[in-house]
Amino acid sequence: MPASPIDTTRLPSRPRRLLAGAELDRYAETAARLILAGRLNKWYPDPYGCAHYFQAMAASARLGVYDGVQIDLGSGMPTLQEIVRVKADHDVAEEFLAEQAARQSGGRALTPKIAAKVQYYQMLSQWEFPPLTNISVLLRRVDGGRGMAAYEAVFDRYDAAENVFTRFTLLLEQKDMSLGAALIERTGDYSRQTELFRETLERYAADESELTFLLLGHMAGVRVEEVTRARIGPLWSFAAPPPPGWSGEGAGAAGEFILHLPWDKASVDIDEDREADPFATIYRHFLSDESRPLVEEEARRLGYRVNKERKFVCTPGAAEHLNERLRQAGTANIVYTLDAPSPTGEEGRGGEPEQ
């Protein structure tokens, strides 16, 4: 079910760069291929739908309908407004195409501008695009003896703060109030989210998994078992270069692409903390000496530990330097290399699939 609509007029301003023409085509095509080469499992947002957003932004797809695409220089990804535009165009495409077909049937010729828009909308209508925000809930089990019901909730969003595709997956139990007020209502084998649950997720699932676990863990009648957050982005490229030290040397280094695929999980099934992300620190470890003991005690009470990982997909020229920097950082990270498409349409990729 779609969550609350996003008000793009109230978002903070971040540095941006406009891409157009051949630059935009290169950026959009490569970004889509990188996403599809990432071997993403169920913890991540839908790779096909996310890749379609990039493909729909290419100058060759839009045919001059829009001047270009604004890229957020912090994440290297399109701004939320650009994602909203593609989804809105897709949602009205069928109606628009029907109107134009009716006009043509009545003998009215299309202007060049409208003809380009028709072709763009025809392309959009062939693809599926994930909602900008979406929450789904699945009943896992009912424990009558304990009076608890267990659920899996999946919360997808294009993160307005970071401009990256994000998926939260939550495993939780709540008191089984099948006919009363609750975050999730149940009748028999059917369950549905409440407005309270949607508001809670939108408020609490806005940062890393551990913080979401802590916030939900304070709610009466709720026991959190696991929170996983997985993201598509940031994306380093000529449009938004890597920070100093993370790009190779030489004239060709500026033309390489590196897509980040970070993943973090807070779970009662994890025995010890594990940090394998060179760009992120476990929340508790980041706190001051005064605050850390309080949060550590809360983590022990709730019974969870945290794992953080990050894998990458890059163009061939970036692989050697990226692997060397990761070796220096002392983290074990998977790096897939984007090769030329094979005759079957699959990318040539190194490494083993992530479990």
Lowest mean pLDDT among 8-17, 74-83, 104-113, 276-285: 8-17
DSSP code per residue over 109-137 = PPPHHHHHHHHHHHHHHTS----SEEEEE
> What was the pLDDT predicted at 184?
80
> What was the pLDDT predicted at 286?
83
**Pairing label, strands 305-314, 335-337:** parallel
> What was the pLDDT predicted at 1?
56
> What was the pLDDT predicted at 3?
54
Mean pLDDT of the chain: 87
> What was the pLDDT predicted at 5?
52
- Cβ contacts of 90 within 8 Å, gap of 6 or more: 56, 124, 125, 127, 129
- Cβ contacts of 10 within 8 Å, gap of 6 or more: none
> What was the pLDDT predicted at 354?
46
- pLDDT greater than 60 at residue 153: yes
> What was the pLDDT predicted at 279?
93
Q: Which residue has the tokens 């099934």?
A: 269
CA 35 – CA 134 distance, rounded (Å): 20
Beta bridge partners of 314: 258, 337
CA distances to 64, 103, 123 from 116, in Å: 7, 15, 11
> What was the pLDDT predicted at 350?
40
CA distances to 151, 243, 265, 271 from 183, in Å: 11, 42, 22, 28
304-318 confidence digits (pLDDT tens) = 999 999 999 999 999
CA 90 – CA 49 distance, rounded (Å): 12
> What was the pLDDT predicted at 192?
76
- pLDDT greater than 60 at residue 12: no
DSSP code per residue over 221-283 = TEEEEEEEEEEE--EESSSSPPPTTSS-SSGGGGG--EEEEEEEEEETT--S-EEE-TT---H
> What was the pLDDT predicted at 109?
86
